[in-house]
Amino acid sequence: MATEQKSSCGDGGGSIDPKSGFCSKTKTFHSLRPKSQLPLQTTPLSLTHYILSSLHQSPPPPSTPALVHATTGHQILYPEFILRVQNLAASLQSQLGLSHGQCAFVLSPNSLNLPILHLSLLYLGVIVSPSNPASSNPEISRQISLCNPAVAFATSDTAHKIPNSLRLGTVLLDSSEFESMMLKCPSSTKWSQISVSQSDTATILYSSGTTGRVKGVELTHRNWISNLASSAARNASAPHAVCLCTAPFFHVYGIAYCLRALATGDTLVWMARFDMKAMLGSIERFGITHVAWAPPVAVALTKYGDGNEMGGYDLSSLQVIACGGAPLAKSVIEKLRERLPNVQVSQAYGMTETTARVFAAVGPEETGVEGANGKLMSDLEAKIVDPESGTALPPLMHGELWVRGPNIMKGYVGDEAATAAILDSEGWLKTGDICYIDNQGFLFFVDRLKELIKYKGYQVAPAELEDLLHSHPDIVDAAVIPYPDEEAGQVPMAFVVRCLGSAIDESQIKDFIAKQVAPYKKIRRVTFTMAIPKNAQGKVLRKELIKLAPSKL
């Protein structure tokens, strides 16, 4: 493979280094993995058709469970799973009148019905826009204004957050009517003739990008197919896997992990909500081989039980721990390896805007490189760019990571300015993260050029919290920074300037914010100050506040 990649790059001269993938002529890193078997871009193909076609070409045994509920043990075998997807697609079209190009807003915790719902909607060319069920009403209103849905799918517990203005109303996922739509196929079969272009928007997911308010990330069917195709090349000869997903299905990490498992005929075990004992019990009960965690779960596991004892649970089936959403500390990786010496800890790097991972550690050799986020995935290119000069840099130099390839988003829905700020005319996406790539092609995360706070893998935009703080009558000025936390990675910390004579305290400020945002966005620490340091242009000097924070606490 390395010899094949030792080829010319760019318009002349230059060659791709067989170890790092770096082209000295273009200053671009190229993937050294085998190219994916991607369909022609002009071929009409939805993500659902692609997955069902993959299962048809390499069908798992009929007795293989597609989906398993971790708590109840309820299983949906692959033949039934495929039938439910097709039945629901037909029902959604004939009974609700859903059609190509419309959007569906989804507000639900993890359940066995979610993958079936998403694939059914995508089958019809309907855009899927899932949201965190813990989102506040103002946050949901903002998201609905971005995606403009015709219909919503929610549970009995979340439906009250959906406005009554949607043209086709709200469908309850935990109702007998919805169950019936999956089990019975209507007489109409027009749905099977729908033509979906790969360039059509498949999902609108929510991200703060590199800064600012929440944005709707448009990912196409092609983006998702590219993500799955790069994994299919790797998994073609792999034995059957049993995968446990604790990541939420409204997050790009959870969606990508789930779809990859289903596209390759593996078994996906769902947890409705994270619980350490339940998770360890599920690993033992179902013979879990692969798990997808956010860093807080990995941290919790290193502290669980007594020494290297895992509470008496048998975890011998476990082969791979995939960890994404935020960087995993080296100390945590070392503790994981002590407790589970035969398990590979696979870190990855990705964003919502890149359809999840673009770098990943695959196999025992790559996962053994300490601190690395793996190598560039198939069909992708990367650059390390000096943030000041814009010059592309060679291996081992620190700079902003740029990526390009078929995984990169279409753009931010209805926001051309924000799209242009992150995505240039040549298709390069500027990640806002300072990284370097070594001489072997491994990516190492260094720091964030952007100002986002990563709380348990979730993105928290300081600007959003600052706007809310500024709206309080007792607050003159405020700034929000990330504060290190072993369990969460980072927590939002606020520096607050009180009005003269005001006695507002820390708990009142925390309560004020908590009532307006999702739980993961809550301010966890508050300190009071006489002034917020700013530069001549009025920009908050966050680095000064970050240095000051430990002494203030």
- Tens digits of per-residue pLDDT, 428-467? 999 999 899 999 999 998 877 777 788 988 878 888 898 8
pLDDT at 5: 39
Helices 176-183 and 113-123 pack at an angle, to 10 degrees, of: 60
pLDDT in tens, 7-60: 457 554 568 999 999 999 999 999 999 999 999 999 999 999 999 999 999 999
Please report where in the chains the tokens 């790059």 appear, as a residue: 9
Q: How confident is the model at residue 329 (pLDDT cuts 50, 70, 90)?
A: confident
> What gap in Å lies between CA 138 and CA 155, rounded to an integer?
19
- Fold adopted by 47-437: Rossmann fold (3.40.50)
Task: Count the neighbouring beta carbons within 10 Å of the beta carbon of residue 426.
Answer: 7
Task: Copy the structure tokens of residue 28.
Answer: 């671009």
Model confidence band, residue 150 (pLDDT cutoffs 50, 70, 90) = very high
Report the alpha-carbon distance of residue 463 to residue 465 in Å, rounded: 6
Long-range contacts at 385-394 (CB < 8 A, ≥ 24 apart): 385/430, 387/434, 387/449, 391/27, 392/26, 392/27, 392/28, 393/27, 394/22, 394/24, 394/27
Q: State how far the Cα of 234 lies from the Cα of 255, in Å rounded to an integer.
A: 19
Spatial contact of 502 and 462, defined as CB atoms under 8 Å apart: no
| Whole-number Å distance between alpha carbons of 478 and 497 | 6
User: What does the pLDDT read at residue 184?
Assistant: 86
pLDDT score of 191 more than 60? no
- Please report, for the chain, how many H helices and E strands are present, in that order: 16, 27
Q: By mean pLDDT, which of 273-277, 313-317, 416-420 is the weakest? A: 273-277
Higher pLDDT, 336 or 11: 336
From the candidate CATH numbers 3.30.70.360, 3.40.228.10, 3.30.300.30, 3.40.50.300, the one assigned to the domain spanning 453-552: 3.30.300.30
CA dist., res. 367 & res. 356, Å (int): 18
Average of per-residue pLDDT across 326-332 = 76
Six-digit token pair at 113?
């019905």
Which residues are registered as beta bridge partners of 540?
Answer: 534
Tokens of 229: 């195709």
The secondary structure element, H or E, covering residue 353 is none
Distance, C-alpha 362 to centroid of its chain: 18
| DSSP structural state of residue 423 | B
More confident of the two residues 152 and 299:
152
pLDDT band at residue 300 using 50, 70 and 90 as cut-offs: confident
Residue 188, pLDDT > 80, answer no
- Condensed to tens digits (0 to 9), the pLDDT of residues 519-552 reads 999 999 999 999 999 875 567 888 899 989 888 7
Res. 246 pLDDT band, cuts 50 70 90? confident
| pLDDT score recorded for residue 455 | 92
DSSP state of 150: S
Q: Give the pLDDT confidence score for residue 517 in this predicted structure.
A: 94
Cα 466 to Cα 23, 135, 450, 494: the distances in Å are 43, 18, 16, 8
Query: Any idea what DSSP says for residue 43?
Result: S
Q: Give the residue, 251 or 535, on which the prediction is more confident.
A: 251
pLDDT for 293: 87
Residue ranges of E strands in 417-548: 429-437, 443-448, 453-455, 458-460, 475-485, 489-498, 525-528
Give residue 460's pLDDT.
Answer: 87
1: confidence class by pLDDT, cuts 50, 70, 90 = very low
Residues 385/398, Cβ–Cβ less than 8 Å: no
Q: What percent of the chain has pLDDT above 70?
A: 93
Listed by start position, the domains of the chain span: 47-437, 453-552
**Quick one: pLDDT at residue 345?**
93
| pLDDT (mean) for 239-254 | 91
Q: What confidence category does residue 95 fall into, taking pLDDT thresholds of 50, 70 and 90? A: very high
Rounded to whole angstroms, the Cα distance separating 443 from 373 reads 5
| Residue 406 pLDDT > 90 | yes
Contact present, 34 and 378 (Cβ < 8 Å): yes
| Percentage of the residues of the chain whose pLDDT score is greater than 90 | 74
Task: Give the residue with greater pLDDT, 304 vs 409.
Answer: 409
What mean pLDDT is reported for the chain? 90
